[in-house]
Structure 1
Amino acid sequence: MDGLTEPIVEPDTEGMAMSGRKGRKPGKTLRRWIWRGIMACVVLAMIPVVLTFLYLPSFVHPISTLMMKDLVTFSGYDRRWVPLEDVAPVMVHSVMMSEDGQFCSHYGIDLGELNAVIDDAMAGEPTRGASTIPMQTVKNLYLWHGRSLLRKVIELPLAVYFDLVMPKHRIMEIYLNIAEWGPNIYGVEAASQHYFGKPAKELNRRQAALLAVTLPNPAIRNPARPSAGMRRLASVIERRAARAGDYVGCVD
């Protein structure tokens, strides 16, 4: 019987596994990577959605992406959080009249200003900024800086969502506490102390207007040593802030 016994042949599992890997369809691998990319985008999109709710309480003091960069690069920054009630009303009014005059009436996007910018672009004219305070706030909190069409596409719906969830008073409070006012200087309190040696609640009309017109380009504008152009702009903002009236009612 022993001579009739057939040898037992073990299956070549390694060869079968390699054969299976070789036979895997490229389309299936591509679909898997696409799915992973979609899921990664969904996770990234959910970050600002969740953080916006976390930033609702007044005791939460968010930091901006620029502040995170300063931390990562060990350059540090100066930011002293203050509630909106501890900021001079004229400072709040000046920023609104300089940055977003329709802040109290729009829903994150100033459609009139945005349409005007689009019309100018279509006509081949130089474009100007149409960013609202909610748009600038979500950019500072969640996105990167620099001119980018992709960033704008992301920024618009985020601004609408942010304005829908967050009260106007809180939006202004966050914006004034994360806005960049110079190299490594963030927030109105740090800016007021740095440039004028006083707390933000003691700013006068002229100082408030000079700080407001610094915001579009804090890298080269210095409110303590304003250029002639800055002084002219500050005079315009000073007059607008004095006549703001109902335009600023949502934060008073």
Structure 2
Amino acid sequence: MKFIKRFFKFIFKTIFWLFVLSIVVVVIFKWVPVPMTSLMVIRSIEQTDDNIKGWKHDWVPIEEISTNLQLAVICSEDQNFLKHHGFDIKAIEKAYENNKNGKKIKGASSISQQTAKNVFLWPNRSWLRKGLETYFTFIIELIWSKERIIEVYLNSIEMGPGIYGAEAASQYWFKKSVSKLTKYEAAAIASILPNPLRYKANPATPYIEGRKAWIVRQMGYFGPLNYPNRYDKE
């Protein structure tokens, strides 16, 4: 009986301290740049091409990331990003219906969910990871501003072979700073995000050219990019 009590006490303490640690880490990353992600490490270990061993990752503040790229990625990945609280319910319902009807499986992960996964978790799919992704999504939406979420997202995601973050991607694909990207260059980078190891932003294939044109049209429909007041969560 004592063993069982001790066991459950140990489990409870472990869960409690993991919860506290998770909150502390999220609070720290509200201001501190994310140095690396699990995907960077995993890809580096898996990489067999000696020319792209390791990774390129140059953190830049949101003020130095072209608004064109911010808008292109939002229009490409999550057009309701500024409206929802981490989960795009309509997109989730649509994806569920598509999958249930036997159509091509479509994801419905918001930018917030992708950020939670990229920064705090691992890439492999499982119910455990999905549950933790939901938890971290809720926490970052509660503690971070929308502007901080997109800043971390654009500085952390994979954008090419061994290329992570907007600045490294801009230098790799267009040989210029991310602050100087044009609409079409930004759309080119956004267009490869579904599979940055398969697609190339430059030179673009006909498929990517089509994606670029669609994203630029969506950027026009979206209008000016206005984040909620960042100081609401300071």
TM-score using structure 1 length: 0.79
Unaligned runs of 5+ in 1: 1-26
1:61 aligns with 2:38: no
SS at match of 2:63: helix
Give the alignment partner of residue 229 of structure 1, picking from 182, 195, 207: 207
The answer for the alignment partner of 2:90 in structure 1 is: 112
Q: Would the alpha carbon gap of residues 46 and 73 (structure 1) be closer, same or farther in structure 2, given more than 3 Å must change?
A: farther
The CA deviation at 1:135 is 0.5
The answer for the alignment partner of 1:183 in structure 2 is: 161
- Tell me the amino acid that sits aligned with residue 33 of structure 2: H
The CA deviation at 1:160 is 2.0
Q: Would the alpha carbon gap of residues 118 and 170 (structure 1) be closer, same or farther in structure 2, given more than 3 Å must change?
A: same
Give the alignment partner of residue 131 of structure 1, picking from 109, 130, 147: 109
The CA deviation at 1:137 is 0.6
- Tell me the amino acid that sits aligned with residue 223 of structure 1: A
SS at match of 2:132: helix
Number of residue equivalences: 223
Once the two structures are superposed, residues 10-46 of structure 1 have per-residue CA deviations (whole angstroms, 9 ceiling, x without a partner) of xxxxxxxxxxxxxxxxx65455445434443443344
The CA deviation at 1:69 is 4.2
Tell whether the 8 Å contact from 2:38 to 2:121 is kept in structure 1 after alignment.
yes
1:36 aligns with 2:26: no
Distance between the aligned counterparts of 2:198 and 2:223, measured in 1?
Answer: 31
Distance between the aligned counterparts of 1:45 and 1:124, measured in 2?
Answer: 38
SS at match of 1:147: coil
Distance between the aligned counterparts of 1:227 and 1:100, measured in 2?
Answer: 23
The answer for the alignment partner of 1:211 in structure 2 is: 189
Q: Would the alpha carbon gap of residues 32 and 122 (structure 1) be closer, same or farther in structure 2, given more than 3 Å must change?
A: farther
Tell whether the 8 Å contact from 2:54 to 2:162 is kept in structure 1 after alignment.
yes
User: More deviation in 97-106 or 30-39?
Assistant: 30-39
Tell whether the 8 Å contact from 2:167 to 2:177 is kept in structure 1 after alignment.
yes
Q: Would the alpha carbon gap of residues 70 and 236 (structure 1) be closer, same or farther in structure 2, given more than 3 Å must change?
A: closer
SS at match of 2:198: coil
Q: Would the alpha carbon gap of residues 47 and 209 (structure 1) be closer, same or farther in structure 2, given more than 3 Å must change?
A: same
SS at match of 1:243: helix
Q: Would the alpha carbon gap of residues 198 and 44 (structure 1) be closer, same or farther in structure 2, given more than 3 Å must change?
A: same
- Tell me the amino acid that sits aligned with residue 40 of structure 2: M
Unaligned runs of 5+ in 2: 48-52, 230-234
The answer for the alignment partner of 2:50 in structure 1 is: none
TM-score using structure 2 length: 0.85
SS at match of 1:157: helix
Identity of aligned residues (%): 31
- Tell me the amino acid that sits aligned with residue 153 of structure 1: G
- Tell me the amino acid that sits aligned with residue 65 of structure 1: S
Q: Would the alpha carbon gap of residues 29 and 72 (structure 1) be closer, same or farther in structure 2, given more than 3 Å must change?
A: farther
Once the two structures are superposed, residues 217-252 of structure 1 have per-residue CA deviations (whole angstroms, 9 ceiling, x without a partner) of 112111113222121111100111122115x32179
SS at match of 1:109: coil
